[in-house]
Amino acid sequence: MKFDSVLAEVNGFGRFQLQLIFFLVIPRLTLPSHFLLNNFIAAIPQHHCNISFLDDGSIWGNLSTAGRVIVTIPAKDDGTPSSCKMFSEPQYHLLHNYTNITDIPTVPCQNGWVYNNSTFKSTLATEWDLVCDDRKLSRATVTIFFIGVMLGAGVFGHLSDRLGRKRTLLLAYVTTTVFGFASAFSQHFALFVVMRFFTGVGLSGISIITIVLCIEWVDIKHRTAVGILLSLDWSIFSAMLPVVAYYVNDWRNLIITTTSPLCLAIICWWWIPDSARWLISNGKVDSAHFYLTKCAQVNGREQFMADLKPEVLSKVILVENGNRKYSYLDLLKTPRMRRLALLTAIVWFGVAFPYYGIIFSISGFGINIYLTQFIYGAIEIPAKGFAFFTVNKVGRRLSQTSYLVLTGLCIFCNIFIPQGAFRTAVASLGKMFSESSFTCVFLYTTELYPTVLRQNGLGFCSIMARTGTSIAPLIIHLEEFWVHLPSTIFCLVAFIAGLSASFLSETKNIRLPETIEDWMTIHHLEYFLVCKSQKNTKL
């Protein structure tokens, strides 16, 4: 008897699993909110040099606000005031439509800046004047945050396979809550960056542990549906974020609002079960029997567990060594495992890199930032349905490959489209395919790795994904050298990742491997079936 057989007997998709999904959706609400938060809290509103020195009682004080701007700040080509320069002395003659200002000396802003607060009440830029020469610091906060996410993937991936899913999940909750609220109350930019870094560490743990814990409690038949259903929360909350940000347009209050659901998540943690698969794989059969019994009771299958003794569970998963602790090094010990780690790493990097490249270019499409973010979130909902259909019909491998290639094609096409509604539409289509590839890769990777290494494998892949995410905002700066260079890099990476995905094994309707030996057996069986199929085709 395999574990999936035991799970089927206690109902692998009943009230117990639905309750688990509900409890895990609560903390996952914070994921898109924080991952996309920088589009709003780090936004740079229109601004120009502070010219309040004209209010000192001189003759300039009698001028209107528009007149003061004309005599003190040079105009850009589009007629708007310069954001970073001012005249060294007020130029009264400019009030008489004198347009030749090329020979008038200018200096950087001397007294700070004045910001247009019509869209944002306050942002990081308005709080700490992250504009002009310091403009890149605002973008750097994104990179530092995702470096924290990258580190968290490695730390929590390892801890989850070593200490168990439930205890590590609580640690992720507490880490994110403490540092999330601390970042909202930071009074110095450097302290804020540090707090955001550790917030990213905790959020990474929530991201990878919740998906694995959910998949490990669901039977083969419903695994695809649950994996995609759980990822649907990202799309819904991505679409809700601009609505929340529109009404909560102060950056401190917005961080507090998006972090608050974790307080409820910590309370609900007491009712979350640990993974019975992981417990049995690590020799903790009594604890596994306890949670399976609870699952049977909630699902109305008490009789089966009453007849099943804990000693029997120890034979459900053949444990290689009950005292053995697995680590990332086990991903490198055999040629086939190294190949799997390399291919999945390339795929995850190629999924996240263009995905966040599209998201962080949100202000480059010529449309309202709130509307664009809402479209980006809403377009992901049909993407989930599309992904659900294809992974069930054509399999994981072909779906993953196709979505990555289509994402690259959309980015490539947008190189030749000017700013406007049509450019936003093509970008949204690329975002839809990119989201479909993200949906597939979580489910696909969870099925590829054995239980004893699943969290380590997912943690390693998430590190690669967050590496791509951290680099994406820096790549966007390359548009200063050639405006189409970032898009070219994003689409090339998507194509390479799509090619790599085509070399992975198919996992459709295949039971989850528990141990490395179990994984090797399934791998050999699939290789045999592929060879047999190719031989029959030739005949």
- Summarised one tens digit per residue, pLDDT across range 178-228 is 999 999 999 999 999 999 999 999 999 998 899 889 988 988 888 878 888
Q: Does residue 124 sit within a domain?
A: no
Separation between Cα atoms, residue 48 and residue 69, nearest integer Å: 9
* Whole-angstrom distance, CA of residue 441 vs CA of residue 455: 14
Under the banding of pLDDT at 50, 70 and 90, the label for residue 302 is confident
Question: Do 438 and 516 fall within a single domain?
Answer: yes
- What are the pLDDT digits (tens) for 268-286? 999 999 998 888 888 888 8
pLDDT at position 332 is: 83
Looking at the domain assignment, is residue 163 inside a domain?
yes
Last residue of one domain, picked from the residues 82, 115, 148:
115
Please report which confidence band the pLDDT of residue 537 belongs to, taking 50, 70 and 90 as the band edges: very low
The encoded tokens of residue 489 equal 């890099």
**Whether residue 360 sits in one domain with residue 389:** yes
pLDDT of residue 534 exceeding 50: no
81's CB contacts (< 8 A; 6+ apart) are 48, 69, 73, 74, 75
| 388 belongs to a structural domain | yes
**The pLDDT of residue 187:** 92
Cα atoms found within 13 Å of the Cα of residue 360, Cβ hemisphere only? 29
Quick one: 100 and 150 in the same domain?
A: no
- Our CA angle for 247, 248, 251, nearest 5°, is 145
Do 220 and 175 lie in one domain? The reply is yes
CATH number at residue 422: 1.20.1250.20
> What DSSP state is assigned to residue 319?
-
- Residue pair 174/165 in contact (Cβ under 8 Å)? The answer is no
Q: Do residue 218 and residue 69 come from a single domain?
A: no
Per the domain annotation, does 174 fall within a domain? yes
Cα(245)–Cα(233) distance, integer angstroms: 18
DSSP 415-473: TTS-SSHHHHHHHHHHHHHHHHHHHHHHHHHHHHS-HHHHHHHHHHHHHHHHHHHHHHH
For the chain, give the percent of residues with pLDDT over 90.
Answer: 26
- Same domain for 144 and 171, yes or no, is yes
pTM of the model: 0.77
Q: Indicate the residue among 296, 323, 350 that finishes a domain.
A: 323
| 17 within some domain | yes
**CA atoms of 217 and 172, how far apart (whole Å):** 20
The answer to whether residues 328 and 158 touch, using CB atoms and an 8 Å cutoff, is: yes
Q: What is the pLDDT of residue 404?
A: 94
The reply to whether 457 and 518 lie within a common domain is: yes
Q: Which helix (H) or strand (E) holds 21?
A: helix 15-28
Residue 344 and residue 296 share a domain: no
Same domain? 248 vs 363:
no
Residue 216 lies in a domain: yes
Residue 449 within any structural domain of the chain: yes
pLDDT at position 539? 44
Distance CA 108, CA 415 (A): 34
Mean pLDDT of 76-95: 76
Same domain, 182 and 163: yes
193 lies in the same domain as 284: yes
Mark whether 474 and 525 lie in a shared domain. yes
Q: Which tokens sit at 278?
A: 């992981």
Give a yes or no: residue 224 inside a domain: yes
Final residue of a structural domain among 115, 143, 165: 115
SS (H, E, C) 304-315: HHHHCCHHHHCC
Q: What was the pLDDT predicted at 274? A: 93
Q: Could you give the CA distance from residue 27 to residue 175 in angstroms, rounded to a whole number?
A: 12
Residue-wise pLDDT tens digits, 389-416:
888 888 889 999 999 999 999 989 888 8
Our count of domains for the chain comes to 3
Predicted pLDDT at 530: 46
Distance (Å, whole) CA 168 – CA 166 = 5
Q: 88 lies in which domain range?
A: 47-115
* Cα 30 from Cα 271, distance rounded (Å): 20
The average confidence (pLDDT) of the chain is: 83
CA pair distance 285, 289, nearest whole angstrom: 6
